[in-house]
Structure 1
Amino acid sequence: MSWEQQPGHWQEQGRQQPQYPQYQQPYTQPAYPHSYEPVPPDPQPYEQPTYHQGYGQEYGYPAHAQQEPVPQPLAPAPPAAAEAEEEKPPPRPPGRDRYFDTLRAVALIRVVGYHTFGWAWAGMVFPSMGIMFALAGTLMAKSLERPAPRVVRGRLRRLLPPFWFWGFFVVLAMLIHGWMPGWQIVYWIVPLGDPPGSAWAEQAWEILWYLRTYLWFVLLSPLLLKIFRLAPVPVLLLSLAPILVLHFLWEPPDDRLGSALTDLATFLFCWILGFAHRDGVLARLRPFAVAVLSLAAIGFAGWYALTHQAGTGSYDLDDIPLAQALWSAGYVTLLMWAKSYFGIDFAWLTRFRRTDRIVTIFNSRAVTIYLWHEIALILAVPLIDRFWNVPAFETYLPLESQWFMFGVGWILIAVFVLLCGWVEDVAGRKKPTLLPGGRPASA
Structure 2
Amino acid sequence: MSWETDQQGYPPQQGYPQQGYPQQGSGYGYGGYEQPQQQPQYVQQPYPQQYVDYEQPYETASLPAVEPEPEAAVAVLEEEAAKEKQPPKPAGRDRYFDTLRAIALVRVVTYHTFGWAWCGMVFPSMGIMFALAGTLMAKSLERPAFKVVKSRMRRLLPPFWFWGFFVVTAMLIHDWMPSWQIVFWIVPLGDPPGNQWGVQAWEILWYLRTYLWFVLLSPALLWIFRKAPIPVLALTLVPILILKFVWAGPYNRFGNELWDLSTYLFCWVLGFAHRDGVLQRMKPFLVVVLSLAAIGFGGWYAFTHQAEVGTYDLDENPLAQTYWSAGYVMLLMWAKAHFRIDFAGLTRFRRLDRIVTIFNARAVTIYLWHEIALILAVPLIDQFWNVPAFEKYLPLESQWFMFGIGWVLIAVFILLCGWVEDVAGKKKPRLLP
TM-score by length of 2: 0.81
Aligned to 1:287: 284
Aligned to 1:112: 109
Aligned to 2:128: 131
Matches within 5 A, 1:80-119: 94-119=91-116
- Displacement of 1:311 in angstroms is 2.2
Secondary structure (helix, strand or coil) at the match of 1:191 reads: coil
In structure 2, distance between residues paired with 1:424 and 1:160: 10
Aligned to 2:253: 256
In structure 2, distance between residues paired with 1:128 and 1:93: 29
Matches within 5 A, 1:420-439: 420-436=417-433
Matches within 5 A, 1:105-184: 105-184=102-181
Match of 1:213 among 197, 204, 210: 210
- Displacement of 1:66 in angstroms is 3.1
Aligned length: 363
- Displacement of 1:273 in angstroms is 0.1
Match of 1:298 among 295, 300, 315: 295
Secondary structure (helix, strand or coil) at the match of 1:65 reads: coil
Aligned to 2:331: 334
Distance 1:70-1:136 versus aligned 2 partners, 3 A rule: same
Aligned to 1:380: 377
- By relative contact order (CA 8 Å, sep 6+), the higher-ranking structure is 2
CA distances 1:17-74 after superposition (whole Å, capped 9, x unpaired): xxxxxxxxxxxxxxxxxxxxxxxxxxxxxxxxxx9xxx97xxxx99513355445999
- Displacement of 1:167 in angstroms is 0.1
Match of 1:204 among 201, 216, 219: 201
Pairing 1:64–2:64 present: no
In structure 1, distance between residues paired with 2:377 and 2:77: 59
Aligned to 1:362: 359
In structure 1, distance between residues paired with 2:117 and 2:299: 12
Aligned to 2:411: 414
* Structure 1 residue runs without a partner (length 5+): 1-50, 75-91, 437-443
Secondary structure (helix, strand or coil) at the match of 1:311 reads: helix
Matches within 5 A, 1:238-249: 238-249=235-246
Pairing 1:353–2:350 present: yes
- Displacement of 1:168 in angstroms is 0.2
In structure 2, distance between residues paired with 1:93 and 1:366: 23
In structure 2, distance between residues paired with 1:159 and 1:94: 24
Distance 1:427-1:310 versus aligned 2 partners, 3 A rule: same
Measured on the aligned residues, the alpha-carbon RMSD in Å equals 2.0
| Structure with greater Cα Rg | 1
Secondary structure (helix, strand or coil) at the match of 1:432 reads: coil
Q: Percent identity?
A: 77
In structure 2, distance between residues paired with 1:112 and 1:174: 23
In structure 2, distance between residues paired with 1:343 and 1:302: 29
In structure 2, distance between residues paired with 1:156 and 1:185: 19
In structure 2, distance between residues paired with 1:64 and 1:172: 83
- Displacement of 1:252 in angstroms is 1.5
In structure 2, distance between residues paired with 1:325 and 1:289: 19
- Displacement of 1:425 in angstroms is 0.1
Distance 1:257-1:127 versus aligned 2 partners, 3 A rule: same
The one-letter amino acid of 1:115's match is H
- Displacement of 1:310 in angstroms is 1.4
In structure 2, distance between residues paired with 1:376 and 1:408: 8
In structure 1, distance between residues paired with 2:46 and 2:182: 80
Distance 1:385-1:278 versus aligned 2 partners, 3 A rule: same
The one-letter amino acid of 1:218's match is V
CA distances 1:273-296 after superposition (whole Å, capped 9, x unpaired): 000000000000001111111101
Match of 2:396 among 396, 399, 408: 399
In structure 1, distance between residues paired with 2:44 and 2:347: 53
In structure 2, distance between residues paired with 1:229 and 1:262: 24
In structure 2, distance between residues paired with 1:64 and 1:250: 86
Aligned to 2:32: none
Distance 1:211-1:258 versus aligned 2 partners, 3 A rule: same
Distance 1:352-1:62 versus aligned 2 partners, 3 A rule: closer
Stretch deviating more after TM superposition (305-314 or 120-129): 305-314
Secondary structure (helix, strand or coil) at the match of 2:342 reads: coil
CA distances 1:302-355 after superposition (whole Å, capped 9, x unpaired): 111001111221000011000000000000000000000000000000001110
* Structure 2 residue runs without a partner (length 5+): 1-38, 52-72, 79-88
In structure 2, distance between residues paired with 1:215 and 1:62: 69
Secondary structure (helix, strand or coil) at the match of 1:315 reads: coil
Aligned to 1:6: none
- Displacement of 1:210 in angstroms is 0.1
- Displacement of 1:94 in angstroms is 4.7
- Displacement of 1:388 in angstroms is 0.4
In structure 2, distance between residues paired with 1:145 and 1:110: 32
Comparing both structures, which one devotes a greater share of its residues to helix? 2
The one-letter amino acid of 1:391's match is P
The one-letter amino acid of 1:169's match is F
Secondary structure (helix, strand or coil) at the match of 2:309 reads: coil
TM-score by length of 1: 0.80
The one-letter amino acid of 2:45's match is H
Pairing 1:309–2:306 present: yes
Which 4+ stretches in 1 moved above 2 angstroms? 65-74, 92-95
In structure 2, distance between residues paired with 1:186 and 1:310: 37
